[in-house]
Amino acid sequence: MGTVLHAQGLVKSFAKVRAVDGIDLSIGMGERVGLLGPNGAGKTTTLLMLLGAITPDEGSISLAGHELPRGRSAAMSEVAFVAGYLPLPERLRVREALSLFAGFYGMDRRTGDAAVAAGLERFGVTHLADRMCMELSSGQRTLVGIVKAVLCKPILLVLDEPTASLDPDVAYRVRQGLLDVAAEDGTSLLVTSHNMIEVERLCTRVVFLAGGRVVADGSPTEVAQAFGHGDLEGVFLHLAGTVIGEDQLMEVGPLPDEEVRS
């Protein structure tokens, strides 16, 4: 199995706070990985470094076979990003906004418009095509965001809190859409979420961060068992309840029998 992402020794500090403290992460083709951890664990900082939006203090990143930061543009033609909190340009119609992103992905107008129409249909949101982006509900915005992300047929789809604040039925549609993309296109997923049930349904592997470090890495079942809990919710609560510092990290990890890896 080839890798779509290989990051080694990532370190990032903001002022005196070490947000990310030596993270190694590899994702294979077709893997669906959940990047989990309590608030302040370093998830979003890690994602933004992996996407080239933040420069790490130390470490190296190879994304879609391109070394960052030099290969960022080439890498991002095969990697897409969706965040539940990120709106599309508000003064544009959905069709126009998506057509622009198709252009950024290197499609000419005709190819891009065809890809947009196909994407909207695939996710059942063709009726939103002529709506202004500012008029979309958060669920519609997320679905359109996923349409935007899959325009380039990415080999890796990075999602930051994709279903945050969505109703359960909309969250289900989003989750199902992501699973379809992964199954049909072979797209790898890297997802952050605070919804552990969702992660168990969506991901084949989870990586738990605490204090900017990887403290667990394996299948949801393996990680839950390694921490002595029945599910990921228990692991999450365990980590969130731990005051993260050098001593506490020793309490939390490493996992029994080294790290559990898929």
Partner 1 sequence: MTAPAASTSRPTFSWLRVRTVVRRHNYVLWRSPERWFDIIIFPLFDVLLWGSLGAFVAQENDVSRASTPYLLAGIMVFHILFQSQIAVSTGFMEETWSRNLLNMMTTPLREIEYVVGLAAYGFIKLAAAMTMVSVTAFALYRFGLGEVGWGLVPIAGLLVVIGWSMAMMVVGMLLRFGQSAQILAWATTFLILAISGVFNPVEAIPGVLQPIARNLPTTHVFTAARALLDGRPMPWGELGQGAIGAVVFAALAVAFVTHMLATFRKRGYVTRYS
Binding site for partner 1 (CB under 8 A): 1-3, 6, 12, 14, 26, 28, 44-45, 48, 51-55, 62, 65-67, 69-74, 76-77, 80-81, 83, 85-92, 96, 100-101, 103-106, 108, 148
Nearer to partner 1, 59 or 234 (CB): 59
Residue 126 Cα to chain centre, angstroms: 25
Measured CA distances, 39 to 34, 63, 193 (Å): 15, 25, 11
Q: Which is nearer to partner 1, 211 or 232 (CB)?
A: 211
Closest separation in Å from C-beta 55 to partner 1: 4
Burial (CB count <10 Å: 0-12, 13-18, 19+), residue 39 = exposed
Cβ distance to partner 1 smaller for residue 78 or 198:
78
The CB-of-242 to partner 1 minimum distance in angstroms stands at 25
Say if residues 11 and 59 touch (Cβ distance below 8 Å).
yes
- Output the smallest distance, CB 45 to partner 1, in A: 7
| Minimum gap (Å) between residue 200 Cβ and partner 1 | 23
1: exposed, middle or buried (Cβ count in 10 Å: 0-12, 13-18, 19+): exposed
Facing residues of 210 across strands? 213
Shortest reach from residue 17's CB to partner 1, in Å: 11
For residue 196, give the nearest of 147, 243, 228, 236 by alpha carbon: 236
Nearer to partner 1, 181 or 196 (CB): 181
| Closest to partner 1 by CB, 16 or 91 | 91
Which helix (H) or strand (E) covers residue 239, if one does?
Answer: helix 232-240
In total, the chain counts a number of residues equal to 262
Half-sphere exposure of 79 (CA within 13 A, CB side): 27
Residue 197 Cα to chain centre, angstroms: 16
Q: Which residue has the tokens 């959940």?
A: 34
* Rounded CA separation 65/82 (Å): 21
Closest distance of CB 169 from partner 1, Å: 26
**Min dist. Cβ of residue 53 to partner 1 (A):** 5
Q: Measured from the CB atom, is 6 or 122 closer to partner 1?
A: 6
Residue with Cβ nearer partner 1 (17 or 243): 17
